[in-house]
């Protein structure tokens, strides 16, 4: 076995990049940005194919990348360097092999593009790093002189997720592409729904996060929406049927109900598209169909926003690697109010898990608060624009005449 390459001089690094977990549009743009920014900073860049599986297996799964190797990546959907569930990396023996492969390749920093589970695994790997190297020397798989240049490992996270389910960031790579795909699908369904005066119940992804369902409902003018964080009232069946009935009486020929896959009621009983369909069919006598969009939401080319976001965050990830010291907490690259920022990874993951815990505890107000600042505002905007009758927003009768009088006098 050849010895590991000598470390690069100064602060130059060999930076590995991998994609892990579910794919999302824009991941390829992030890989492209990491590769090209690394080269621009006189570093070396390595693509690790098939996620953590490639890190454990090593060999041909780890490839040195040049600028031309990522040509055309920006417009491609999915992840061109692959992703795979890796049970081996969940065990210490797998992480031990991954550490050896990195040392033998000379990689001393990692950029991980994935969801909260993938990023948590990366931080665990970093915390164990020195112990893994010591164990490799004890087992005589590596020499002390070989591990000397690799005493610490820096890791930077990028969030690739269509669900937009990570706290501490306004958007995750891929979420707006997925939302656009949902809106396109609903627009197509609208045509046949209006033609036949049908109702459609559309299931979208989101087990613990209702961002896609909420934003799709807001963007398509859906009649009703079910989110994990904000279950409907106890009388939701009557409320939904009432809203839809009023819409129909006003001349609306179609009905669209958006259901997140993790939707439930206040008692955490699952609300399925079939439940909603049966209610619309039996109570309102509407010809109702179910459409589950499934993995269509993940596919296709990334939208302009995700191409931009993935590029900017990929470049920032390389800067974060070069700025890091052994004491620097693992950062995750976020976007907040259109600014690319670094946030502590573990805090972001903890806040994300806190949402699921709040939902399990039926503390739905807390769950809404733990989402980004605009989440509740978007929900309120949707509820306002979909409602047909909101008495609380009307002026009191005694003020109506006063306003008219003021208006009349202003015309003089």
Q: Which residues are catalytic?
A: 163
Q: Phi, psi (5° rounding) for residue 272?
A: -105, 160
Considering only CA atoms, which of 221, 120, 215 is closest in space to residue 163?
215
411 DSSP 8-state letter: T
User: Rounded to whole angstroms, how far apart are CA atoms 268 and 350?
Assistant: 22
DSSP structure class, residue 392: G
Non-local CB neighbours of 394 within 8 Å, separated by 6+ positions: none
Q: Please identify which residue in the block is written with the tokens 């040392």.
A: 103
Task: Give the CB-side neighbour count of residue 79, counting CA atoms within 13 A.
Answer: 28
Contact 156, 321 (CB under 8 A): yes
C-alpha to C-alpha distance for 265 and 231, rounded to whole angstroms? 5
The residues, any chain, with a CB within 8 Å of residue 106's CB and separated by 6 or more, are 4, 5, 6, 7, 14, 44
Closest CA to 322 of 11, 84, 37: 11
Asked if 344 and 325 count as a contact pair (C-beta separation under 8 A), the reply is no
Q: Where are the alpha helices (DSSP H) in 255-303?
A: 273-283
* Residue corresponding to tokens 């621009």: 40
């Amino acid at each position: 076995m050849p010895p590991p390459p000598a470390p690069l001089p100064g602060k130059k690094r060999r930076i590995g990049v991998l994609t892990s977990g579910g794919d999302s549009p824009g991941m390829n743009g992030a890989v492209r940005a990491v590769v090209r920014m690394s080269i621009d900073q006189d570093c070396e860049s390595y693509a690790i194919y098939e996620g953590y599986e490639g890190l454990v297996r090593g060999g041909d799964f780890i490839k040195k990348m040049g600028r031309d190797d990522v040509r055309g990546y920006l417009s491609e959907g999915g992840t061109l360097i692959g992703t795979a569930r890796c049970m081996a990396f969940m065990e210490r023996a797998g992480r031990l092999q991954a550490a050896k492969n990195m040392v033998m390749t000379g990689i001393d920093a990692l950029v991980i593009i994935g969801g909260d589970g993938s990023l948590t695994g990366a931080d665990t790997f970093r915390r164990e790093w020195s112990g893994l190297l010591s164990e490799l020397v004890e087992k005589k798989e590596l020499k002390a002189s070989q591990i000397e240049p690799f005493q610490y490992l820096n890791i930077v996270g990028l969030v690739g997720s269509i669900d937009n389910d990570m706290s501490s960031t306004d958007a995750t790579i891929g979420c707006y592409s997925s939302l656009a795909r949902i809106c396109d699908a609903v627009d197509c369904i609208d045509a046949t729904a209006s033609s036949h005066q049908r109702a459609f119940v559309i299931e979208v992804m989101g087990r613990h996060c209702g961002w896609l369902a909420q934003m799709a409902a807001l963007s398509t003018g859906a009649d009703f929406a079910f989110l994990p964080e904000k279950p409907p009232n106890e009388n939701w069946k009557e409320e939904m049927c009432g809203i839809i009935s009023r819409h129909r009486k006003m001349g609306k020929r179609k009905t669209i109900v958006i259901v997140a896959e993790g939707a439930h009621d206040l008692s955490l009983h699952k609300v399925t598209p079939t439940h909603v369909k049966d209610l619309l069919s039996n109570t309102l006598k509407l010809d109702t169909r179910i459409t589950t969009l499934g993995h269509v939401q993940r596919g296709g080319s990334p939208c302009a926003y995700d191409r931009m976001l993935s590029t900017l965050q990929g470049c920032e990830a390389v800067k974060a690697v070069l700025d890091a010291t052994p004491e620097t907490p693992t950062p995750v690259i976020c976007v907040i109010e259109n600014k690319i920022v670094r946030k502590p990874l573990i805090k972001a993951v903890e806040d994300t898990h806190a949402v699921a815990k709040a939902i399990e505890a039926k503390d739905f107000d807390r769950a809404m608060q733990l989402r980004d600042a605009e989440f509740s505002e978007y929900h309120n905007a949707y509820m306002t624009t979909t409602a047909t009758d909101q008495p609380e927003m009307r002026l009191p009768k005694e003020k109506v005449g006063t306003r008219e009088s003021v208006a009349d006098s202003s015309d003089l």
